[in-house]
Amino acid sequence: MAFTEQQYVEMSMKLQQVKEEIHRFIVGQEEAIDYTLYAVLADGHALLEGLPGLGKTMLIRTISEVLDLSFSRIQFTPDLMPADITGTSMIERTADGKQQFTFQPGPIFSQMVLADEINRATPKTQSALLEAMGEKTVTILGDTKRMAKPFFVLATQNPIEMEGTYPLPEAQMDRFLCKILVPYPKKSELMEIMKRTTGAQEIGLQKIMDTEVLIEAQQMVKEILVADEMLEFATDLVVATHPERVDAIDEVKQYAMYGSGPRGLQSLIKLAKARALMNGRFHVSVADIKSVAKPVLRHRMLLNYEGEASGKTADDVIDVILEKVQQGVSK
């Protein structure tokens, strides 16, 4: 292992400073902050879902400032075109009078990209993010361009029941490491928000980490140990989401149409490792895996008609899975 236990502890303390700085600007939303940071540490993308006005955009912008990352925002609308995201090649005249193609990069070429209200754009435009998210490259007119490093897409979306939204394609949903639900703030949090936002005092954010330190933290996450027992437990959780299995859990058979694939297991391990680092450990625990199970699996499980008609959610089914799948007991 390239890093010592002391280095993990020191990095954990640094990450706690990051959280504290974010909380100077963002009130509450503890889970949303934690899981978004886990996704960043795991070098993945995150999808934040919640009603308008709950601070999703502000949270992502704040994280980019505290981590000193270049930031761009793409406001998704029904008339947004793929070239508005990736950029385009334009014909320009050179000094000697010749014409040549010059690439004008789009907003995707930043370290942290906020895809705001991603489900308000058409599926064609949404799919323009696929290559950038999966391969971290963009191909335009046969020319492949690499993204900045590190590179994250943090997307926000409104609940799909709202008018004027387009459900994300399954292939794109699977590209997101986790789906984070942003709830309404509590009464005490609302009062604190009013105090901070309606007064004369302005809050300035400090940059706690830079790109070099963040990349080091990501490398630490990769080197965190995962015991075979932990890997088996995580695998059992993912396998338990499959309703077609003969020995599937009753609630999964009854309410699920399909479950998570291999990418879900990869995401489960990556996010569990990131949580371990945040807590100053260099090994994954059962608590790490259980904690990240819902954000990782909720957008990878599709409920059937009976599940939706019964008012069930993917989280309800995952709760049952977490209750019935025990560490060390393979199904």
- Is the model's pLDDT at 290 over the cut of 90? yes
pLDDT above 90 coverage of the chain, percent: 24
pLDDT of residue 329: 45
CB–CB of 77/125 below 8 Å?
no
Indicate whether 254 pLDDT > 90: no
CB 155 within 8 A of CB 47: yes
Instruction: Find the farthest-apart pair of alpha carbons in the chain and give their distance in angstroms, rounded.
Output: 74
Residue 164, pLDDT > 50, answer: yes
For residue 177, the model assigns a pLDDT of 92
- pLDDT tens digits for range 28-67: 888 888 999 999 999 989 998 888 777 788 888 888 889 9
Q: Taking 60 as the threshold, does the pLDDT of residue 303 lie above it? A: yes
- Six-digit token string for 26: 């963002």
Confidence of residue 200 (pLDDT cuts 50, 70, 90): low
Residue 302 pLDDT level (bands cut at 50, 70, 90): confident
Task: Assess whether pLDDT exceeds 90 at residue 233.
Answer: yes
Spatial separation of the C-alpha atoms in residues 222 and 113, rounded to whole Å: 23
Each domain of the chain, given as residue ranges in start order, spans: 29-184, 224-324
User: Any alpha helices (H) in the chain, and if so which ranges?
Assistant: 5-23, 30-41, 56-66, 82-86, 123-126, 128-135, 170-175, 187-197, 211-223, 228-239, 250-255, 262-278, 286-297, 305-309, 314-324
C-alpha count within 13 angstroms, C-beta hemisphere, residue 137: 8
Contacts of 102 (CB under 8 A, 6+ apart): 89, 90, 91, 92
Q: How far apart are CA 225 and CA 176, in angstroms?
A: 23
What pLDDT, on the 0 to 100 scale, is given for residue 59? Answer: 87
The string of pLDDT tens digits covering residues 68-94 is 888 889 988 888 888 888 877 777 777
Beta bridge partners of 74: 115
Fold (topology level) of 224-324: Helicase, Ruva Protein; domain 3 (1.10.8)
**In the block, which residue shows the tokens 């886990």?**
38
CATH superfamily of 29-184: P-loop containing nucleotide triphosphate hydrolases (3.40.50.300)
d(CA 107, CA 133): 14
